[in-house]
Structure 1
Amino acid sequence: MPDLTKPAPAVPSEGVGSALLEVDAVTLRFGGLTALNEVSFEIRRGEILGLIGPNGAGKTTCFNVMTGVYQPTSGAVRFDGRTLTKMKRHKITKIGVARTFQNIRLFKSMTVLENVMVGADAHSRVGFWDALLRTPRHRRTEAEATARARELLELVGITARHDELASNLSYGDQRRLEIARAMATNPKLLCLDEPAAGFNPAEKQRLMELIRKVRDAGFTVLLIEHDMKLVMGVTDRIVVLEFGQKIAEGTPDEIRDNPAVIAAYLGVEEEDAS
């Protein structure tokens, strides 16, 4: 069992830049519709990777294949040397992949602290009888999980509200809580699905700072996000999809100047903004 009193370990220097997750020629078809067509890219240890594209580009579908929601028609997804294809979603979580959702999925009738501890339970090996009899092992594990949950709430900036119901938090703080709960599973890869949805500019700036803090705490981050200013400002590399195909990959500067991306995505944004 991992030590829940400690944050996720920093990425060893020799591991920085090596592939943590590989998407290898993934194709996904729904009947006659090809949602993804031989998409390939990798997420490197210690980086923040952005996955972007216009509406309908296939980024959420690709995200769902990577996290076990969908099984690819062909191709493979490998994580830390293990093939995820046909692996159950809870097992994918256990080996180190955590995600948030576009629609916040908290336990609204539980406290903020309890929500994060639910995430820590993903790695708990305390059995039914330990919990029922409150054995020393159970009490020790519970104390470790509580300490870890408080550390994560401090990291995301809502530790002062630990004993409030999740339903009483503002929308922005509920987003922060969801990120803390995902981190409580002690993942090697944290996948954030549209975390800035519904945020005002000030909240987006704070989110950028939080994502950097998460990476600096030792997590590798995959970010799916529509807000181009946020993506360009926080990611190390970006993968761009259009109509289920990868059309570009590179640094934010490279993506910003890529003609195919400008035509498919950024150009649309610039027209809308004018």
Structure 2
Amino acid sequence: MTHRLEVDSVHLQFGEREILTNVYLKCETGKITGLLGRNGTGKSSLMNLIFGNLVPGNKSVRFDGKSVPKAYQHHELLSYLPQYNFIPAHLSLTRVFSDFSLDFAAFEKCFPEFQQKYNSKIRQLSGGQRRLVETYVLIKSKSEFVMLDEPFSHLSPLMITAVKELIRQEQGNKGFLITDHMYHEVLDLANDLYVLAEEQVYLVNQIEDLERLGYARLSH
């Protein structure tokens, strides 16, 4: 059964500045949805609205047609990787993988550099390793939908390739909404693609739309 996450009628304003106006976006299980936009267009704000961390002037967030204004209270529905580190630095990898009910051996098989780090604290990891752990546990979470904000930041090329493969493997179990400044990685993954521009979200029908919407200059 396909499940659907929809957000519409979004209006967000900071002071006198309009950030989002009448936004509509849809994400379905079995699909990877990409969200692109220039800096400051409101991509992270939109994800926080969907998650329920940010309360706008107006919005409707629905899971299978049912309104869920505080999705952060429903981990079975939605998980969210923010731009900042969210796992406390004092926790051990043992505790993190236990809390998420995940097998560390499977993670270690994907990323051999973590061999013998099972008892390490998060603070002992490099920035890239810490980001990788946070991204991995959410990709593998039990949620129907996962939002990833800049998942490829600080990752090595080999790590990025492995993370993309993990997302594709999990695609059959859940829906993904992904934004990243490394937009070629998003383009490579996305089944559906939106661009945030001029306070609104536009569904991209062809790659040339990225240039038309002022997001990227494409080589001809």
Q: TM-score, normalised by structure 1?
A: 0.70
Runs of 4+ in 1 over 4 A off after TM superposition: none
**RMSD value over aligned CA atoms?**
2.5
For 1:108, give the aligned amino acid.
A
State the match for 2:216 in structure 1. 266
| Structure 1 residue runs without a partner (length 5+) | 1-13, 121-144
Point out the structure with the larger helix share: 1
* C-alpha displacement of 1:155: 7.6
Point out the structure with the larger strand share: 2
- Indicate whether 1:150 and 2:132 are aligned: no
- Tell me the number of residue pairs that the alignment of Structure 1 and Structure 2 aligns: 217
3-state DSSP of counterpart to 1:65: helix
Residues 67 and 92 in structure 1, CA contact (< 8 A), matched pair in contact too: no
State the match for 2:208 in structure 1. 257
More displaced stretch, 26-35 vs 202-211? 202-211
State the match for 2:127 in structure 1. 171
* C-alpha displacement of 1:49: 0.5
State the match for 1:56 in structure 2. 40
Find 1:238's aligned residue among 189, 193, 196.
193
* C-alpha displacement of 1:149: 4.0
Using the alignment, how far apart are the partners of 1:56 and 1:47 within structure 2? 26
- Indicate whether 1:97 and 2:81 are aligned: no
Residues 187 and 219 in structure 1, CA contact (< 8 A), matched pair in contact too: yes
- Cα deviation per residue 1:48-93 (whole Å; 9 max; x = unaligned)? 11111111111111111011111231231112332122x373x133
Residues 9 and 58 in structure 2, CA contact (< 8 A), matched pair in contact too: yes
- Indicate whether 1:75 and 2:59 are aligned: yes
State the match for 1:42 in structure 2. 26
3-state DSSP of counterpart to 1:266: coil
State the match for 1:197 in structure 2. 153
TM-aligned CA distance change 1:150 to 1:82, over 3 Å: farther
Residues 36 and 244 in structure 1, CA contact (< 8 A), matched pair in contact too: yes
* C-alpha displacement of 1:31: 2.9
Q: TM-score, normalised by structure 2?
A: 0.85
Return the index of the structure with the highest Cα Rg: 1
* C-alpha displacement of 1:23: 1.0
